[in-house]
Amino acid sequence: MSLVSQNILTALKSLNQELEIEKEYRTFIACGGGVLSVMGVISRQTRDLDVITPSIDELLLKCSHRVANKLGLDTEWLNNGPSGFIRDLEKGWELRTDIIFKESHLTVKALGRHDLIATKLQGMCDRDEYDLEDLLKLKATIDEVSSLKSWVLKQDGSAFWPERVESQFKKLLTRIKNGE
């Protein structure tokens, strides 16, 4: 089953209950479409909630699998897939996080706006799946997008990357200017 905002919130509440049963507490930082869904920015389905730090430990994994079984989710609904982003984020990213979910035994933080936009810009240039639309839903401004262009250019050393970044940024900026 894919996740939508309500499913993610239900899954997080259920995960909190599992942690409560275990008498354990967890806090993690996430990014991606799952975060935007929890924040109410997007309503499209997403596959998962991407945890960038810390690494999902054995107990959290066990609890997330129980939640998956209970709710009919993919067992990878909570994963460390994008944890490599940490090394690429601009200094101080940890200080720019925002709490998007908090209950008795579970706190979920999201990358702050600047870093969410940065990772979505990189994704837009790399994958071109939903990232451009997500940036429009985030209401990224011309200034925010333009200020991150040099950072995005550093994220890939391939010969085609600068041209790809230029074309994707042009497409996004045109849509922002058109009020989309």
78, 119: one domain: no
16, 84: one domain: yes
79, 163: one domain: no
* Domain boundaries, position 99: 5-111
27, 99: one domain: yes
Domain count of the fold of the chain: 2
pLDDT above 80 (res 10): yes
Cα(11)–Cα(89) distance, rounded to whole angstroms?
A: 28
Answering whether pTM is above 0.85, one says yes
The secondary element (H helix, E strand) that includes residue 125 is helix 113-126
Residues whose CB is less than 8 angstroms from the CB of residue 75 and which lie 6 or more positions away in sequence, other chains included: 64, 65, 68, 69
Q: Where are the beta strands (DSSP E) in the chain?
A: 26-31, 49-53, 78-79, 98-102, 106-110
Please write the tens of the pLDDT for every residue from 142-171: 999 999 999 999 999 999 999 999 999 999
pLDDT for res 142: 97
pLDDT above 60 (res 2): no
50, 122: one domain: no
Q: Among 88, 111, 134, which residue terminates a domain?
A: 111
pLDDT above 70 (res 75): yes
Cα(140)–Cα(153) distance, rounded to whole angstroms?
A: 18
Residue environment code for 18-51, b if the CB has 16+ CB neighbours within 10 A, otherwise e: bbeeeeeebebbbbbbbbbbbbeebeeebbbbbb
95, 24: one domain: yes
Average pLDDT over residues 53-64: 96
Cα(78)–Cα(61) distance, rounded to whole angstroms?
A: 8
Q: Among 95, 111, 127, which residue terminates a domain?
A: 111
* Structure-token match 């609904």, residue found: 77
pLDDT above 80 (res 133): yes
75, 135: one domain: no
CA within 13 Å, CB half, 75: 5
27, 78: one domain: yes
CA-CA distances (angstroms) from residue 60 to 16, 99, 116, 120? 10, 19, 24, 27
Average pLDDT over residues 59-77: 94
